[in-house]
């Protein structure tokens, strides 16, 4: 089949759906969707957060944020947080129907309904590139998504993936192989 060149686009497939959360000036939780980002070092996460985001104000004021992975069960609530801004809707988080509890490690909220959260201290934010870099200080897992071996079980955890081209959320989870092992057959 011939290949098609579609130009320079911000696409990788799939993208993670990260709920970036902080406390606003009023002390209430705020949260937004971000798909432009990922792990950039052993204890580091980098996310492109546009300077005008309400959630960013809280992140910078308190030097902290959390990243919860959006899941199938809470897809509409998560999308709502990505299409509504706290700059205009003060009780946005409450309207989402989600709830939050303060992180034990950083001054930021963890979304109760989302079982996988990464707690971060702000390392840097660049106004020009919009790059927010966080130091990961803890990963908080709801025990309900853990298997008997203590690891996250994708039978129990259903994170969303994002397809920017079609603007759709997808469910992931089926195991198809073993990393660092299946390639050994070709050595
Ligand atoms: C699927 C999706 C992906 C998004 N990815 C990003 C992103 O990577 N960075 C960003 O700054 N905003 C992103 N947004 C937009 C914010 O989530 C959105 O502007 C949100 O309303 C900001 O809320 P706030 O102003 O209350 O913080 C995304 C929104 C959606 C729906």
131: phi then psi, degrees, rounded to nearest 5 = -85, 120
Provide the residue ranges of all domains of the chain, joining segments of one domain with +.
15-186
pLDDT at 93: 98
What share of the chain has pLDDT > 90, as a percent? 98
Tokens describing residue 170 = 């997808």
Nearest CA to ligand 1 atom 31: 82
**137-158 tens-digit pLDDT:** 999 999 999 999 999 999 999 9
SS (H, E, C) 73-136: HHHHHHHHHHHCCCCCCCCHHHHHCCCEEECCCCCCEEECCCCEEEEEEEEEECCCCCEEEEEE
- In sequence order, the β-bridge partners of residue 22 are 30
Which option is the CATH number for 15-186: 2.30.110.10, 3.90.180.10, 1.10.645.10, 1.10.3720.10? 2.30.110.10
Q: Which residues line ligand 1 (CB under 6 A)?
A: 30, 32-36, 48-50, 53-55, 79, 82-87, 92, 162
* For residue 174, pLDDT beyond 90: no
3-state SS class at 183: helix
> For residue 170, what are the β-bridge partners?
161
Distance 175 CA to ligand 1 centre (A): 29
User: What's the 1 CA to ligand 1 centre distance in angstroms?
Assistant: 36
The per-residue pLDDT of the chain, averaged, comes to 97
Q: How confident is the model at residue 126 (pLDDT cuts 50, 70, 90)?
A: very high
Protein residue whose Cα sits closest to atom 13 of ligand 1: 34
Across the range 56-84, mean pLDDT stands at 98
What distance lies between CA 36 and its chain's CA centroid? 9
pTM: 0.97
Q: How does residue 184 score in pLDDT terms, banded at 50, 70 and 90?
A: very high
- For the cut 90, the answer to whether the pLDDT of residue 173 exceeds it is no
CA distance linking residue 146 with residue 164, whole number of Å: 30
Mean pLDDT throughout 161-184?
A: 95
- Tell me the pLDDT tens digit for each residue of 4-50: 999 999 999 999 999 999 999 999 999 999 999 999 999 999 999 99
* 23 three-state secondary structure: strand
């Amino acid at each position: 089949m011939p290949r098609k060149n579609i130009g320079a686009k911000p696409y990788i497939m799939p993208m993670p759906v990260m709920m970036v959360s902080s406390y606003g000036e009023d002390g209430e939780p705020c949260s937004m969707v971000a798909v432009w980002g990922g792990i950039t070092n052993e204890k580091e996460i980098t996310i492109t957060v546009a300077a005008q985001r309400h959630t960013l104000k809280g992140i910078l004021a308190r030097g902290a944020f959390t990243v919860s992975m959006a899941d199938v069960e809470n897809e509409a609530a998560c999308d709502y947080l990505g299409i509504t801004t706290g700059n205009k809707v003060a009780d946005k988080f409450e309207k989402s129907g989600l709830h939050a509890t303060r992180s034990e490690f950083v001054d930021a909220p963890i979304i109760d309904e989302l079982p996988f959260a990464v707690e971060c201290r702000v390392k840097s934010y660049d106004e020009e590139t919009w790059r927010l870099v966080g130091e990961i200080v803890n990963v908080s897992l709801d025990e309900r998504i853990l298997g008997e071996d203590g690891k996250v079980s994708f039978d129990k955890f259903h994170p969303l993936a994002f397809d920017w081209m079609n603007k759709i959320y997808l469910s992931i989870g089926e195991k198809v192989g073993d990393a660092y092992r299946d390639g050994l057959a070709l050595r």
